Chain A
């Protein structure tokens, strides 16, 4: 984590986000800029990253820490290359999410909250993601995977392994 600095392109994006708000209200850009930072700097928010965001928005680091620790989408620890965020709330439970969570855990040899030792997969249980009619479901990166079955989970894990192999 030596070189914490956005590319020119990302700095432009930060500028675009800040322009959404009136003069002097650039702190409002904090949540979107943290998303951007998490995406750019390895999938989680290390302290130097948070300090960098504070300096970009001209606010105190503590204001960033407060926010980063409040919202569940910010990772304060390293996570795997692929994060399976499986919903476990009522409507998903009624459609078998407990079984899907157990199946993924068994298959990857990890418990919810853990990352595989090769750093490939993190399993996380989350609360209702607004896809209750398409349950069971999980979020993977920017998108949702819905109507999950054991077979679909197998295919998704395969797909991730293939993608990772082709990117190396």
Chain B
């Protein structure tokens, strides 16, 4: 059994309620930080922990915090990113729904470290019922003296507010999020200036993912060094993985970053293997934006080493033969699935979510969607495959925000690893609408699934 730091108490009965949460050791990190540590000492522990942002980019959190500008007399803000809209990702929802006080506790401790007296949770609009859960937790925390003025007699004031978005993946990008929090369209800003200098209402701002802020609780309680002992290399601590697609047990798992991808997929403690006794074809291990990998490259790196569920190992081989940890949205495709169709739905997603500011992203995503749909429907030409490759290359790196890259990568990886499946569609226009290509040579070389 791996260690659990975030979800270990998530299934205690009534843990949503303050009293139960408190009985199980809740709010200790706030007490410890405010009574025994300076704000900089809290940041120091976060640095020592090696915690990397859990929203997708994996940027070291302690370093981000230390970049926060602190001009005299200007407010600073902590904004928690609960926009969670990357296909395959549903971990933050789980955390907020089951153990909301963990996020609130992490926010108070983090707000103390950053000097934020007003902190916000920006939550995707569709999670409407979770807003109620969070507001309830905030009210309870406030009634018990953890929020408001002069917390624990320290002179530190803090309030937490929740704002709902209204349906726009792009508002997960941190500067678009800030625009949205200011009541505007979610158009990403040109960086620099970075939010650490000019963020919410032009004030210095830290934007962190829900899981990142929740992880501050065990880091402060146990110390950064202790936290850093879990995991391998620069992948310290535990990570929430939301697993979905064609597996026996979809759901949210907290892993310590020491297990292999194979164990995660086939282990009974985790996904429990491929559903209906089918075989593994491919996987998108870190949310829809990261490269899809065929089974053979998923379980072993190109060098033949066991691929682990760590930032480094998932990325081993770069984009040629590797992928990314991303947001931890783990999407599994079994042997009956069609990579072209899957890629098409993702291209449609990015076209729908492009904010439209940059022409390569606005035009390119729509173009890719159309071509992919044609190929999927048996109306594609061989030259379309090269055209797709060309379009994605022209988007990547040529846009204001990383959504362009996020749209390009899945298409690039699908062609890179599954070109024969695209070609088969073009060469078999009638057959490809009736049946799927199947497994061909992508089969997991290690396992032949036992029929269920």
Contact = CB atoms under 8 A, between A and B. Distances in A.
A41 B87 CA distance: 32
Interface residues of A, number: 42
B334 to A, nearest CB: 8
Contacts of B245: 91, 94-95, 132
A127 B242 contact: no
A127 B349 contact: yes
Most buried by B among A59, A71, A91: A91
Interface string B181-219: 111111000000000000001000000000000000000
A71 B181 contact: no
B294 interface: no
A27 B163 CA distance: 13
B183 A132 contact: no
B287 to A, nearest CB: 10
A93 B436 CA distance: 14
Contacts of A67: 166, 183-185
Interface in B400-451: none
Given A35-B125, A71-B168, A130-B84, A25 B182 contact: yes
A165 to B, nearest CB: 26
A145 B414 CA distance: 31
Contacts of B169: 127-128
Nearest to A134: B250
Contacts of B252: 133
A108 B378 CA distance: 30
Given A25-B201, A127-B349, A139 B163 contact: no
Contacts of B342: 90, 93-94
A73 B349 contact: no
Contacts of B244: 91, 94-95, 132-133, 135
A142 interface: yes
Contacts, number: 149
B165 A91 contact: no
Interface string A120-160: 00000011111111110001001100000000000000000
Interface stretch (B20-28, B126-134, B304-312): B126-134
Nearest to A26: B183
B179 to A, nearest CB: 10
A90 B185 contact: no
A50 interface: no
A83 interface: no
Contacts of B118: 22
Contacts of B284: 90
Contact of A132 (B89, B124, B167, B348): B89
B53 interface: no
Nearest to B118: A22
Contact of A72 (B93, B168, B183): B168
B181 A133 contact: no
B167 A31 contact: no
A130 B124 contact: yes
Contacts of B166: 31, 34-35, 67, 71-74
B129 A91 contact: no
B393 interface: no
A20 B161 contact: yes
B377 interface: no
B183 A89 contact: no
A142 B130 CA distance: 10
B345 A27 contact: no
A133 B244 CA distance: 5
A28 interface: yes
A76 interface: no
Contacts of A30: 183-184
A29 interface: yes
Nearest to A24: B201
B46 interface: no
B129 to A, nearest CB: 6
Given A90-B346, A130-B93, A139 B126 contact: yes
Contacts of B183: 27-31, 57, 59, 63, 67
A21 to B, nearest CB: 8
B148 interface: no
Contact of A91 (B163, B185, B331, B353): B331
Nearest to A90: B345
Given A70-B185, A132-B87, A132-B90, A89 B349 contact: yes
13 contacts: A27-B183, A30-B183, A31-B166, A59-B183, A73-B167, A74-B166, A89-B349, A91-B245, A95-B244, A130-B92, A132-B87, A132-B242, A134-B250
Sorted nearest first, the 4 A-B pairs with minimum C-beta distance are: A71-B166, A133-B250, A72-B167, A30-B183
Given A71-B186, A74-B166, 4 more contacts: A66-B184, A73-B125, A127-B348, A128-B85
